[in-house]
Amino acid sequence: MSVFLLEPVDRPEQFPFWEFSYALGGVEVTMLLTWSDRLQRWYAGLFDANGDAIWAGRAVSSRWTLGLRNLSSRAPDGIFWAADTNDDLGPPTFEDLGRRVLLSFVDGDDLPVPIPLTDAVAITAVA
């Protein structure tokens, strides 16, 4: 099941960050979205119920995940995704996040089973 975390919103133009909490898959998490004036980009961080970072500093890019599938017991099983509503492949501008680009969460039940590291096959270059 896909859940939209950030619906289209009207927000103050000089709003440098958002912080919001969700219960996803029975796990309480807080997401922090921060705008960087210097880099002209949004960055995301995910925190557990104690405020400890699960991951942080991930650039938000349209039509891309915010990192790999969460397999930590402190995070809900699934993938956070930045969905672009108009097929613009550029990163979301300050005004785009929550309008053109919406954040969603895809539950782990809807994803392929991850390959355990013990079953991974090493690939080496052959000269």
User: Is 124 part of a structural domain of the chain?
Assistant: no
pLDDT exceeds 60 at position 8: no
The band of 120, judged by pLDDT with boundaries at 50, 70 and 90, is very low
End-to-end CA distance of the chain: 45
Confidence at residue 12, expressed as pLDDT on a 0 to 100 scale: 52
17 inside domain: yes
Whether 125 maps to a domain, the answer reads no
Report yes or no on 7 lying in a domain.
Answer: yes
pLDDT (tens digit, 9 = 90+) per residue, 9-19? 555 555 677 88
Predicted pLDDT of residue 39: 92
Closest CA to 62 of 44, 36, 37: 44
Domain boundaries, position 60: 2-119
Predicted pLDDT at 121: 46
Q: Is residue 65 domain-resident?
A: yes
Q: How far apart are CA 24 and CA 107, in angstroms?
A: 8
Residue 115 lies in a domain: yes
* Within-domain flag for 113: yes
Other residues' Cβ atoms within 10 Å of the Cβ of residue 41: 17
Q: How many domains does the chain have?
A: 1
**Is the predicted pLDDT of residue 127 greater than 50, yes or no?**
no
Under DSSP, the state recorded for 25 is T
| 55-94 confidence digits (pLDDT tens) | 888 888 887 777 666 566 777 878 888 888 887 778 888 8
In the sheet with 2-4, reading across from the earlier edge strand, the strands are 2-4, 101-107, 78-84, 64-65
**pLDDT tens for each residue of 13-37:** 556 778 888 888 788 888 888 889 8
Six-digit token string for 14: 């000089």
Instruction: Indicate whether 43 pLDDT > 80.
Output: yes
Q: Is residue 66 part of a domain?
A: yes
